[in-house]
């Protein structure tokens, strides 16, 4: 990071780091319990929850370290995941006998998983370094 580069973790960026940290902890805990106790019931859903947890961890660390490139990539992956898993979970509910973080576009979490990557992308793109 150069001296003139804007901090993505300042101002509202701090709130993003905190929210992603909470989601990283929640998704990791949920996926860990699900995989350890009832993996055979819904392996796809539980593996997707674990994938979401990894994305949230990467995003938390990238934002905290002001790594825009990684944060942008992870936010894009998160948004794609929420849209794809959300659509598939509604279109084929039998494939998802148990919910993931991204099922129903994050409806189990008040749609925060759908809103969060949009806010993250907007924040990161507005904090773009001067050319």
Summarize pLDDT for 59-93 with one digit per residue, the tens: 999 999 999 999 999 999 999 999 999 999 999 88
- The pTM for the full model equals 0.88
Q: For residues 98 and 10, what is the distance between their CA atoms, to the nearest angstrom? A: 37
Instruction: Identify the pLDDT of residue 126.
Output: 86
* Among 74, 84, 76, residue whose Cα is nearest residue 54: 74
Between helices 68-91 and 112-126, what is the axis angle to 10°?
150
Most confident range, picked from 79-83, 106-110, 121-125: 79-83
- Give the percent of the chain with pLDDT over 70: 92
pLDDT of residue 1: 47
pLDDT for 115 beyond 80: yes
- Reference 78, options 130, 33, 23; nearest CA is 23
Judge whether 35 and 50 are in contact, CB under 8 Å: yes
């Amino acid at each position: 990071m150069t001296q003139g580069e804007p901090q993505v973790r300042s101002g509202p960026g701090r709130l993003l780091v905190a929210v992603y940290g909470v989601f990283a902890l929640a998704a990791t805990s949920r996926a860990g319990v699900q995989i350890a106790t009832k993996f055979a019931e819904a392996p796809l859903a539980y593996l997707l929850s674990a994938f979401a947890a990894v994305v949230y961890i990467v995003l938390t660390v990238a934002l905290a370290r002001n790594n825009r490139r990684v944060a942008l990539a992870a936010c894009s992956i998160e948004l794609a995941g929420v849209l794809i898993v959300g659509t598939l979970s509604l279109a084929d509910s039998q494939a998802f006998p148990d919910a993931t973080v991204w099922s129903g576009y994050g409806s189990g979490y008040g749609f925060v998983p759908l809103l969060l990557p949009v806010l993250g992308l907007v924040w990161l793109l507005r904090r773009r370094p001067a050319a």
